[in-house]
Amino acid sequence: MTDHAETAAPEAPAATDTRGRVAELLAIRAEALRGPSEKATEAQHAKGKLTARERIGLLLDEDSFHEVGGLRRHRATGFGLEAKRPYTDGVVTGWGTVHGRTVFVYAHDFRIFGGALGEAHAAKIHKLMDMALAAGAPLVSLNDGAGARIQEGVSALAGYGGIFQRNTRASGVIPQISVMLGPCAGGAAYSPALTDFVFMVRETAQMFITGPDVVQAVTGEQVTQNGLGGADVHAGVSGVAHFAYDDEETCLEEVRYLLSLLPANNRENPPSVPAKDPVDRRCESLVDLVPLDGNRPYDMRVVIEELVDDGDFLEVHERWAGNIICALARFDGQVVGLVANQPQSLAGVLDIHASEKAARFVQMCDAFNIPIVTLLDVPGFLPGVDQEHGGIIRHGAKLLYAYCNATVPRISLVLRKAYGGAYIVMDSQSIGADLTLAWPSNEIAVMGAEGAANVIFRRQIAAAEDPDAMRDRMVKEYKSELMHPYYAAERGLVDDVIDPAETRTVLIHALEMLRAKHADLPARKHGNPPQ
């Protein structure tokens, strides 16, 4: 069978009537749907990868795909391109539905020019992105391409510029999801980085600006493609990828799940579903789950699982910056974003990566009308030379800026520790939280009692006959005066102290009350957030 990515099909005689023209159209469409050759398809499958149309079939509802530009061919010449003019030009574009809601999608076809982007290829993507923005519907890109088509030179580079510009224009207007199913190198990697969520498949997907060969030539470092930019690297080390999965089928099913939690655009609310989990369900296990001893860890995921509908939530960036949890879930069928310290990792402290991770998540929730519930158990910011030299001040300010700028309903709940600047940054009442709650186990203070006693009573401790006994007495005195569970509530900094078992019910009623919240930001072109 002829590979249409390699050789142009011979021109057929022109039809002489309408029926002939229709037959001709059907033949051309069949050729476009068939793709370059069985050999090319087998090669794609041999790599453990699906074809572009197979991927679209898994992403969208059955028989819902409507293709745009399926008969597009490039018009470039030179380097033998005039003899290689396959239909689609290496990218399948169109729209369909996911759970009955409109979604736009484009998928690189690696069988044609290695999925490389040329002028016609880029024009198809530009048109689809414009359509998605105009229609106010999510955009999903299924990436499996070799970068810019070298034979087309600067025209290919300009095509990427058009994509980046549209990614930026659509940011915060429609959800944009990038699914990495193959290589993505050089400037092409910047489009996924501009989108809201990045999914990657292990072993077959890689992202990097410069490949292993260039890295070795410049720095002498030897590294594999996956070691440099594989799914596990970007999901656990760089933070570029939000999700990583072992196979394409699971990955695309999770994309469908994420879409079910997001609104179509920034003018709509996320879709709600009928809830089977009772609003008044008591969470008795929470009473014993969180130890009073602030030095004892516990798994915040178990707390979240107990609170949300049916224990079901989607964690974002699960493997990166594990000391903070960002997740989407439902309360009484309504989508909510959860930000929570994780005492099992670095005691739940805030550091550079945790601040960046939570700040981006808060911004995403605010852009798409998703209320935010913040669960606090934070001992402060991570001290250290590396953190200070790495810019913990400006990175921590990103999270502060994101919360202060958010206009969606915001509820914060202090489970246990809430110390110092980290308490303020984690959506305290002073920076605009609509409702602040606490459990009876809360300790809200400038710092822990031991550290505070060492500062305030250092002279008395030093002068005492038994410094250790004096320190213990001063610690108890500080706790009784400034760290009892009702200190913040007495001063109006916490709106209520609640029974942990009633937390789910209290949160649902509060979210219902805040659903009609409306807040306007000052008129401005845009803010200048810390970088």
CA pair distance 9, 273, nearest whole angstrom = 51
Q: Judging by DSSP bridges, how do beta strands 91-98 and 313-316 pair with one another?
A: unpaired
Q: Where are the beta strands (DSSP E) in 221-269?
A: 243-245
The single residue of 172, 236, 421, 432 carrying the catalytic annotation is 421
Are 320 and 235 contacting, i.e. CB atoms less than 8 angstroms apart? Answer: yes
Phi and psi, residue 410, nearest 5°: -135, 125
Q: Which H helix or E strand runs over 328?
A: strand 324-331
Q: Out of 231, 358, 406, 422, which one is annotated catalytic?
A: 422
Half-sphere exposure of 97 (CA within 13 A, CB side): 7
Q: Is 186 among the residues known to form the active site?
A: yes
The closest alpha carbon to 506, from 494, 493, 516, belongs to 494
The yes-or-no answer on residue 421 being catalytic is yes
Burial class (CB in 10 A: 0-12, 13-18, 19+), 276: exposed
Q: Distance between CA atoms of 49 and 280, rounded to whole angstroms?
A: 47
How many other CB atoms are found less than 10 A from the CB of residue 12?
Answer: 9
Choose, from 57, 153, 162, 186, the residue flagged as catalytic: 186
Residue of 187, 211, 239, 432 marked catalytic = 187
Q: What is the DSSP string of 204-223?
A: T-EEESS-HHHHHHHH----
Contacts 24+ apart (CB under 8 A), 253-256: 253/58, 254/199, 254/314, 255/59, 255/140, 255/177, 255/179, 255/199, 256/59, 256/98, 256/99
Residue 33, token pair as written in the block = 């749907």
The set of catalytic residues is: 186-187, 421-422
